[in-house]
Amino acid sequence: MTMDSTLAPTESTEGATRYPLDPLTGAEIEAAAAVITESDYATATLKFVMIQLAEPAKTATLTFRGVADVPRRAFVTAYDAAAKLIYEAVVDLDARVIDSWTPIPGRFPSYLVEHMTGVEEKVREDPRWQEAMRKRGVTDFSLAMIDPWPAGYYGAQDHYDNSALICRPLTFMRAAPSENGYARPVEGLIVTFDLDAMAVVDVEDHGAVPLPTKGGNYAEKFMFDADNRPAFTQFRDDVKPIEITQPDGPSFTVDGWNVTWQKWSLRVGFNPREGLVLHELTYTDRGTVRPVMYRAALSEMVVPYGDSSPTHWNKNVFDMGEVGMGFSANPLTLGCDCLGEIFYFDGTVNDSSGNAVTIPNAICMHEEDYGISWKHTDFRTDEVEVRRSRRLVISMICTVGNYEYGFFWYLYNDASIEMEVKLTGVLTTGAIADGETPRWGKMVAPGMYGPNHQHFFNFRMDMSVDGPGNSVYEVDSIPEPDPELNPHHNAWITRDTLVASEAEGARDWEHSTGRYWKVVNPSKLNEFGAPVAYKLMPKDIVPVMVQEGSVIYDRARFVQHNLWVTRYEPNELYAAGDYMYQCAEAQGLPQYVADDAPLEDTDVVLWYTVGAHHVVCPEDWPVMPCHYTGFKLKPVGFFDGNPALDLPPSPPAACHHH
C-alpha cells in the first residue's frame, strides 16, 4: 500500500483556509502572475523567473497556530530582457494588489524555464558550430546534446554593463537516440549564447580532439548492444526481493503540509529556488512542545572545477541560485526512488508566462528502520533490553544537467536531526588525445577523463532551541591545561568559546580538538543548571581547493568556512546572495556579517557548508554510485536523560527459514 498524493496537499485544500507557511497553490501562482500582467508594470517582454510564497514575519511564539488574519502574499521575481532589468514584486493574493514593485539594477536573473530547452535547437542551427563539428567528423547534428551551462565569469566582458544575459553551452555527441551522450564530449568547443535574444554570439574552437569511441551506456535497453556494451552482460540473478510492509500503516500523520511523527511536529514547504523546506520543527517532551528549529533549507550550492583547460576552467555552477532546485526536482517513483509506505507531496512551480506547473511526487516521505537505538545485556542475569531506532525520511532528488542530487532530511526518535546529500548521475567529461595523460583529472574510459572538481552545499538553519533567544559556542576538546591536575598526562577537558558577534561568526572545523558547535538557550536550564542545547556535528570535512585570485573565489566566498553564524534577518536567505549570475563580487554571507551584529542570546542562524571532494575513478563511470555527505544535529543537555528510553520493545520475530 502507498499513499500516493494524486490529490496532493498543494491542490487538495484549494479554497480552504491555508496555513501561512503553506506553499503557493497553482491557483495562487497564476493569480499573482495575473495581477502583475494586468498592471501598469507589465510589458510585452516581461517574463516570470520565480513565483513563491512571501513568508510572513515570525511571531513571538514561533508558530502561526491560533494567529488569525495572516495575509497570503506571493514574492515574484520577473525579468524584462528588453530593459535588461530584474524586478521584485510582492503581491497581496487576498486583495489582488501589488504591495511593492522594486527594480534590481546591476544583476542578472537565474534561468528562465525555456532557457534549459531552447538553447540546444538554436546552437545546432549555427553555421560556426556546424563547421567546428565537421572538423571533428560529425555530420549528423541531430544526435548532438548541447548543455546550456551557466556563463560563470570570464572577466569584465561578462559584467552587467557590458553583457547580455548569456550562457556557455558545451556539446556532447550521442551515437544513437537516447544513448549516453556524455560518453563523447566535444572537447575545446565553447559557445557563447545570448539568452536575451536566444541567439549564438560567438563560437570558440580551441582545436579538435578525437571523440571517444567507447559507449558509456547503463540503461537496460542498451545492455546487449554489441557495439556499445557497458561493463556487464546480464543482470545479477541472485538479488532476492525485499518487501517493506507496515500492516497498520505508517506512524506519521499528514494534515495538508503539517506532519506529526511520534514526538516530532513540522511543516513541509516547497519553492522553485530552494525546493524542499522544513518549518516549525518541534519535539514534545513529557507533554511540553519544545521548538528546535524554525526553518531549514539548502541556501546555495556550487561546483568548482579544478581543470585549467579551455573547456573546463570556468565551470563553477551555482545549481540552486543559477537554475533552481525546485525547478529541477524529479517526479519520484515508488519502488525505485522511494521504498515502503510512502506519502508524496507534489511541488508546484511557474513557467515564464506565469502558468503553474505541477511536479508530481516531488517530495517523498516515509519511515525507515535504522538498526539498534540502544541495548544492554546484564551478563549476571542474562536480562536483555534492546530498542530499535527509526527515522522519518523527507527527501527530494534534483537533476541539473548531468548530475543528480538527493537531499534527505532525517528525524530520529532520539530527537536527533540529520541532513544527508546523495550525489549520483553522470560525470561531466572531457576528451583527450590518444597517449596523453590528463593533468587535472583521471581517466574513466579510453580517450576520456573526468576533471577534478568539488561540490559544496550550504544549509541555512534558523535555530530556535527551546525558544527564540539562543547563543552559539564552539567546543574544543583539549588536554588538561593545569599540569598539577594532570599528573598522569591523560586528562582532557572541553573548552567552550562564545561566538559573540558576526565578526567572529565565520568558523572552521579543527580535527585535532574534535571541534563541534552547540546552540544553547541561556534562559532554559536543565536539571544540572546548564543551558539546554543542540550540537552541530560535522561529517566528512573536505579541503577547499578554491584559490584566492580565481574567478570563483569571491563569487562563492561561503565555501571558505565550514560554519557561519549570523543574527536573523528575514531577507538574508542565500549564502552567495540573491543574484550571483554573471556577477564577480562577494555577496551573501560576507555582506551579512559586515555589520558585526551581536549574537549572544538572540535569534541566531547557522549556515553550514558540507563538501564532496571528487577525484574521479573508472568506478564512477558510466553512472556514478551514490556519494554521501552531510551533518547531524544532536541534543546535548536538552533533555534530562535518553529521550528514546520510552521506545516500546519490538516483538520477537524469527526469519522465515528458522
Q: How confident is the model at residue 228 (pLDDT cuts 50, 70, 90)?
A: low
What pLDDT score does 166 carry?
96
What pLDDT score does 1 carry?
32
Q: How confident is the model at residue 16 (pLDDT cuts 50, 70, 90)?
A: low
Identify the residue with better confidence: 144 or 651. 144
C-alpha cell at 208: 579538435
For the residues 175-199, what does the mean pLDDT come to? 94
Q: What DSSP letter does each residue of 544-608 carry, written as one string? A: ----TTSHHHHHTGGGGSSEEEEE--TT---TT-S--TT--S--SHHHHTTT--B-TTB-EEEEE
Task: Tell me the C-alpha distance between 495 and 193, whole Å.
Answer: 54
Would you say residue 520 has pLDDT above 90? yes
C-alpha cell at 414: 532520539
Would you say residue 234 has pLDDT above 70? yes
Task: Tell me the C-alpha distance between 142 and 345, whole Å.
Answer: 37
Q: How confident is the model at residue 11 (pLDDT cuts 50, 70, 90)?
A: very low
Identify the residue with better confidence: 289 or 68. 289
How much is the mean pLDDT over the chain? 93
For the residues 608-615, what does the mean pLDDT come to? 97
What pLDDT score does 224 carry?
52
For the residues 423-437, what does the mean pLDDT come to? 95
Identify the residue with better confidence: 651 or 26. 26
Vertex 617: Cα angle to 612 and 619 (nearest 5): 105
For the residues 535-543, what does the mean pLDDT come to? 95
Q: Indicate the SS3 state at residue 137.
A: coil
Question: What digits encode the pLDDT tens for the residues 317-354?
Answer: 999 999 999 999 999 988 888 988 999 999 999 999 99
Task: Please name which of 22, 104, 16, 12 lies closest in space to residue 578, comparing C-alpha atoms.
Answer: 104
Task: Identify the weakest region by mean pLDDT among 11-15, 110-114, 240-244.
Answer: 11-15
Helices (H), 153-275: none
For the residues 536-540, what does the mean pLDDT come to? 94
What pLDDT score does 210 carry?
96
Compute the radius of gyration of the chain from its Cα atoms: 26
Would you say residue 423 has pLDDT above 90? yes
Would you say residue 583 has pLDDT above 50? yes
Q: How confident is the model at residue 159 (pLDDT cuts 50, 70, 90)?
A: confident
What pLDDT score does 484 carry?
97
Task: Please name which of 326, 301, 299 lies closest in space to residue 574, comparing C-alpha atoms.
Answer: 299
Task: Please name which of 227, 128, 210 lies closest in space to residue 176, comparing C-alpha atoms.
Answer: 227
What pLDDT score does 9 carry?
42
Q: What DSSP letter does each residue of 138-174 carry, written as one string? A: ---GGGEEEE--B----SGGGSTTT--SEE--EEEE-
Question: For residue 381, what are the CA distances in angstroms to 377, 384, 514, 651?
Answer: 8, 9, 38, 21
Chain Cα centroid distance, residue 313: 23
Contacts of 652 (CB under 8 A, 6+ apart): none
Report the first-to-last Cα separation within the chain, whole angstroms: 27
Question: What digits encode the pLDDT tens for the residues 34-81?
Answer: 999 999 999 999 999 999 999 999 999 999 999 988 999 999 999 999
Query: Where does 63-220 show beta strands of DSSP type E?
Result: 73-80, 85-92, 97-104, 144-147, 166-167, 170-173, 189-194, 199-205
Question: What digits encode the pLDDT tens for the residues 362-400?
Answer: 999 999 999 999 999 999 999 999 999 999 999 999 999
Would you say residue 188 has pLDDT above 90? yes
Q: How confident is the model at residue 154 (pLDDT cuts 50, 70, 90)?
A: confident
Task: Please name which of 260, 273, 255 lies closest in space to residue 53, comparing C-alpha atoms.
Answer: 273
For the residues 506-532, what does the mean pLDDT come to? 97
What pLDDT score does 36 carry?
98
Catalytic residues: 319, 403
For the residues 501-512, what does the mean pLDDT come to? 97
Task: Identify the weakest region by mean pLDDT among 235-239, 271-275, 621-625.
Answer: 235-239
H/E segment holding residue 480? none
